[in-house]
Amino acid sequence: MLPEGTAIAADTAATSSITGKILVALLFAAAIGAFFFFDLKIYLSLDVLKANRDNLLVFTQDHYVSAVALFILVYILQTSFSLPGATIMTLAGGFLFGSLWGPLYVNIGATTGATLAFLAARYLFHQWVERKFGDRLSPIQEGFTKNAFSYLLTLRLIPFFPFFLVNLLSGLTRVKVSTYVVATAVGIIPGSIVYAFAGRQLGTINALSELVSPRLLLAFSLLGLLMLIPVIYRKFTETPTPQS
């Protein structure tokens, strides 16, 4: 039996944890609700970007540091709250900051936002998932943790896996935060470069569908699958542990 003081402290900690989770959940719900209630997605469209290209360029040239900070902040918010508009933001990054600095600023914003979404999912749901499905998920968790970098790199490179879904589901695994951050930062480099470069030709783009060709999707998919080669190699070369 726990001493009375220890029990009270445990109850207080549990209450604080529940309160914190409720506040975080409400924050995410409020942000997502406000985005759609005020129809803010209309500002994250190709037409709006093209219509305001001159004004955006002038602002960036006159207030470069502020423009960079604002761009990264908006990208972090968009990614952390799993809101639509990542493609437009990446195009804008290339258009405003160029094919070199644009992908860098995109990477900082996207990686930071993805990490916040990952941490929120882990904070809100990880313990519940472990309690509810821990026994059944244990082999999957173990395999994912052992090969987390390769798995995450593959998920980031293959465009068929929604970015926000990978953020949230990764938070339910036991992958280390450092591994998640590095794999995310590396994995989004190719896409960031491609879309940022396309942003430099903003005037010639009439629809986002023009940016995604079957060859490009196939190239990203093959690149992602290549990341699984070390996992497959280890799988077939591991020596089974002899039974005593």
Pick the range with the lowest mean pLDDT from 6-15, 55-64, 103-112, 229-238: 6-15
Q: How far apart are CA 155 and CA 161, in angstroms?
A: 6
pTM of the model: 0.83
What are 159-165's contacts with CB under 8 Å, separation 24+?
Answer: 159/191, 159/212, 159/217, 159/220, 159/221, 160/217, 160/221, 163/79, 163/86, 163/110, 163/114, 164/79, 164/82, 164/117
> For the chain, what are the domain ranges?
19-237
Q: Per-residue pLDDT for 203 more than 80? A: no
Q: Round to whole Å and give the CA distance between 83 and 51.
A: 22
What is the model's pLDDT at position 227?
74
Each residue's pLDDT tens digit, 95-152: 999 999 999 999 999 999 999 999 999 999 888 777 776 666 676 677 777 888 998 9
* Average pLDDT value over all residues in the chain: 85
Task: Report DSSP state, residue 45.
Answer: S
Report pLDDT digits (tens) over 49-102: 999 999 999 999 999 999 999 999 999 999 999 999 999 999 999 999 999 999
84: Cβ–Cβ under 8 A, 6 or more apart, which residues? 41, 44
